[in-house]
Chain A
Amino acid sequence: MKKLSARRRHPLAAFVVLIFALAATGGLYAALAPAGEAKADASETSIAIEEGQKLYAVGCASCHGAGGQGSSDGPTLVGVGAAAVDFQVSTGRMPMQQPGPQAPTKPNIYTEEEIAQLAAYIASLGPGPGVPEPAAYDPSEGNAAHGGELFRTNCSQCHNFTGQGGALTHGKYAPNLHDVDPKHIYQAMLTGPQAMPSFPDAVLPPEQKRDIIAWLTAVNTSESPSEGGFGLGGFGPVAEGLFAWTIGIGLLVAVAVWVAAHTAKARKS
């Protein structure tokens, strides 16, 4: 002991103590870490819910309230279901960047796992539509012609004949559906995000939703054929009129100028 007490004032003593302390902390952590593994015994869902709640507290609670009950800045999320969360977050609409008439799409910052955790948490708040299975929105299984009729009856008044999008009141809009993931189209119909009405299965059965997706795949993706040539955005007569007033008549006037400039005069004055 004398030896120890004699060296406790050694300049390096503090470092030695630090090393011991670190080793003890590390050892203790290693010893206690299996306690975390013990959680695996509980259901995966409850972990997801717990993790989702943490993500929710960081990314969503400021507008939707600490428990998803909603606030003056955002609606309640009780009962919106996992499908709504999957749609809003994976298209980047939520969390919203800034208040505005409508939440635009932007790059999504969450991983698929995190989105699933968020969805699990929101689903735990109240029953709502779940994330659909891939077979439900496979366009190759649908009937495009029937889907076209359904689209023109239910969707085209806002989204245009082929889903090119359209304006709504006060800066809101129905987005362009060009190349939108079929899963997201399905979820949007199911949950009715933002200004869109929802079309639950009792109103629009799953097969009809799939038909609508088949129609959109036939007419509004990068692979869809444009039989008549360059499509001018699919907006119809306004775009065509603009083309006629600019490029069309522009070319004809250019030709007229050329013809008038080339005359039979022997020598230009």
Chain B
Amino acid sequence: MSTTTNPPKETRSGAPAGEKVADWADGRLGVYTVAKSNMRKIFPDHWSFLLGEICLYAFVILLLTGVYLTLFFVPSMAEIEYEGSYIPMQGVLMSEAYASTLNISFDVRGGLLMREIHHWSALLFVVGIFFHMMRVFFTGAFRKPREINWLFGFALLVLAILTGLTGYSLPDDLLSGVGIRFMEGAILSVPVVGTWLQMLVFGGEFPGSLIIPRFFVAHVLLLPGLMLGLLVAHLLLVVYHKHTHFAGPGRTNDNVVGMPLFPVYMAKAGGFFFLVFGVIAMIAATTSINPVWVLGPYRPDQISTNAQPDWYLGFSEGLVRMMPGWEMVIPGGYTLNLGLLVPLIVFPLVFAVIALYPFFEGWVTKDKREHHIAERPRNAPTRTAFGVAWLSWYFVALVAGGNDIWAIHFDLSINAITWWTRISFFVLPVVVFIITRRICLGLQRRDREKVLHGRETGIIKRLPHGEFIEVHEPLSAEKRYALTAHDQPQPAEIGPPVDENGVPRKVGVVEKLRVRINRGYYGPSGQIPKPTAEEYREITSGHGHH
């Protein structure tokens, strides 16, 4: 009211307050040019495109709650006697790190809720990254021009896992201390330099007094700093490449159909942030996570069963649990601890496979076109089968990591589970690959059937001469388009054995392998030919449905 009754005199008359602020800012920051090119940026609407946003918001929540926790956490391994308000720990000797975590949990206002929001966000952050990666992988959104951004995302996953590991270890409780001990064992198993590396990391014998302060610096400064930088690069590339979208009428490889960033998408994204925050806060308020106060302080002479890392490192635990405890002494008296060394080598390989897949597919297909249409997983059966097989591989390692929990909850023998995981680690991905590929091909056949003959309605009609028929309802043109918009590349050929001059051509082993794999992707066994317009016309112009 006061603005209308007392209009300011010095500025442009009649201009709203917002415009005046914008004018002021533009004069100093040049916001008009930036806003003009970016405010109307288009984002397509699909729920799976919001999975990355879940990760972004979880990260923001982690930063906010993390700052609060650092106000009270003491990253020190100095031993003190606990005198706080949690009675079952009073008088117990513990590190200042553990004591301050108990203090945050019981004596700091809102501390326990903050800890639980922080920890649940961390778990859901990495789950979100997995879901986001699955979306990108199974829709082929990693293809040119987005391979680099796939690697950025992968680096973010690795950094998120490292940040999780360091954060999980900070309270210096008996559970996380066992995790650090596990890590120390893995470092020690490195041939030749293992003991030196161990001294480098721990600054002395385990556990020493340095590892918590070092992890603290990594957890609150180094790793989040790197992640923040990568995150910005990741998002800038999304803006630069523009978002992929699913094929449909008017949605082609050359455009993006969706809502503008301002005002629609900004409002949606802002609202979504609060929804994600609300869901995580609700989970944290009702469901316990890592109740360190009952776990006790870390002491190298103590251990508990059910000692597992947070889920994203569960598969590394599983690799160690399924590996037989082999050990050999090589000439010179050096021990090779294969029980730890083999898992330590397999661990990065499991991830590298996923990171490098886009380049593998690029090499196989020799596809240099830009792709902005998100493929339906069934239309790339070999890729989909590869992804699901990887997931089953990962799942087997996760089962091995929790083999004791599986044993006790399903009344099974832990030895039987371990043997199941040892065999499944090699067999299950192959079986899953074959089954998934078959299912994808079946779904392609069904799509073909639907386009050509329409949807089965379930209505049975009896014709005058007594014949029964099921009524098929033709699909709308839009649906037919969406089901046939994908392209089906021709399989690669090795080419004629002789060139045009009759000289025998030399084809390398690698090229032969590439063609073989390519035929697996695009050959008759790799895809069902999609219906052509001629086929459709022939059927619809004929005697009708049957």
Residues of chain B with a CB closer than 8 A to A231's CB = 288, 291
- Give min CB distance, A255 to chain B, whole Å: 5
Whole-angstrom CA separation of A103 from B461 in the bound complex: 64
**Cβ–Cβ contact B123 & A173, under 8 A:** no
Residues of chain B with a CB closer than 8 A to A158's CB = 305
Find A157's partner among B87, B286, B305, B314 (CB 8 Å cutoff): B305
Interface assignment of A99: CB less than 8 Å from any CB of chain B: no
- Give min CB distance, B241 to chain A, whole Å: 20
**Cβ–Cβ contact A157 & B303, under 8 A:** yes
CB contact under 8 A between A145 and B407, given known A156-B304, A244-B127:
no
**Cβ–Cβ contact A148 & B306, under 8 A:** no
Query: B76-112: which have CB < 8 Å to A?
Result: 87-92, 105-106, 112
Whole-angstrom CA separation of A235 from B47 in the bound complex: 33
**Count, A-B residue pairs, CB within 8 A:** 201
CB contact under 8 A between A259 and B288, given known A238-B314, A240-B311:
no
Closest residue on chain B to residue A228 by CB atoms: B288
Find A249's partner among B127, B301, B414 (CB 8 Å cutoff): B127
Closest residue on chain A to residue B308 by CB atoms: A237
Whole-angstrom CA separation of A236 from B411 in the bound complex: 19
**Cβ–Cβ contact A230 & B415, under 8 A:** no
Provide the main secondary structure of the chain A interface: helix
Interface assignment of B276: CB less than 8 Å from any CB of chain A: yes
CB contact under 8 A between A240 and B302, given known A145-B87, A146-B91, A249-B128:
no
- Give min CB distance, A199 to chain B, whole Å: 16
Whole-angstrom CA separation of A245 from B92 in the bound complex: 36
- Give min CB distance, B203 to chain A, whole Å: 26
Residue from A161, A237, A253 having most chain B Cβ neighbours under 10 A: A237
Whole-angstrom CA separation of A8 from B425 in the bound complex: 93
Flag the segment in A24-32, A53-61, A119-127, A260-268 that touches B. A260-268
- Give min CB distance, A79 to chain B, whole Å: 30
Whole-angstrom CA separation of A143 from B90 in the bound complex: 10
Q: How many residues of A contact B (CB 8 A)?
A: 62
Interface assignment of B271: CB less than 8 Å from any CB of chain A: yes
**Cβ–Cβ contact B120 & A244, under 8 A:** yes
**Cβ–Cβ contact A173 & B408, under 8 A:** yes
Residues of chain A with a CB closer than 8 A to B310's CB = 237, 240-241
Residues of chain A with a CB closer than 8 A to B413's CB = 101, 169-171
Give the interface size bracket for B toward A: 35 or more
Could you mark each residue 294-322 of chain B with 1 if its beta carbon is under 8 Å from any beta carbon of chain A, else 0?
Answer: 11100101111111111110100000000
**Cβ–Cβ contact B116 & A228, under 8 A:** yes
Residues of chain A with a CB closer than 8 A to B287's CB = 228-230, 232, 243
CB contact under 8 A between A232 and B311, given known A152-B174, A173-B407, A259-B50:
no
Interface assignment of B275: CB less than 8 Å from any CB of chain A: yes
Interface assignment of B68: CB less than 8 Å from any CB of chain A: no
Find A244's partner among B124, B286, B403 (CB 8 Å cutoff): B124
**Cβ–Cβ contact B288 & A230, under 8 A:** yes
Closest residue on chain B to residue A219 by CB atoms: B294
Interface assignment of A167: CB less than 8 Å from any CB of chain B: yes
**Cβ–Cβ contact B304 & A165, under 8 A:** no
Interface assignment of A13: CB less than 8 Å from any CB of chain B: no
Query: A132-170: which have CB < 8 Å to B?
Result: 143-146, 148-149, 152-153, 156-162, 164-170
- Give min CB distance, B392 to chain A, whole Å: 15
Interface assignment of A33: CB less than 8 Å from any CB of chain B: no
Residues of chain B with a CB closer than 8 A to A169's CB = 413-415
Interface assignment of B51: CB less than 8 Å from any CB of chain A: yes
Could you mark each residue 241-254 of chain A with 1 if its beta carbon is under 8 Å from any beta carbon of chain B, else 0?
Answer: 11111011101110
**Cβ–Cβ contact B46 & A260, under 8 A:** yes
Interface assignment of A174: CB less than 8 Å from any CB of chain B: yes
Residues of chain A with a CB closer than 8 A to B415's CB = 169-170
Interface assignment of B485: CB less than 8 Å from any CB of chain A: no
Residues of chain A with a CB closer than 8 A to B314's CB = 237-238, 241
CB contact under 8 A between A251 and B279, given known A160-B304, A167-B408:
yes
- Give min CB distance, A175 to chain B, whole Å: 9
Interface assignment of A87: CB less than 8 Å from any CB of chain B: no
**Cβ–Cβ contact A253 & B290, under 8 A:** no
Residues of chain B with a CB closer than 8 A to A235's CB = 306, 405
Residues of chain A with a CB closer than 8 A to B112's CB = 227-228
CB contact under 8 A between A230 and B311, given known A160-B306, A161-B295, A248-B120:
no
Could you mark each residue 411-447 of chain B with 1 if its beta carbon is under 8 Å from any beta carbon of chain A, else 0?
Answer: 1111100000000000000000000000000000000
- Give min CB distance, B245 to chain A, whole Å: 12
Query: B332-385: which have CB < 8 Å to A?
Result: none
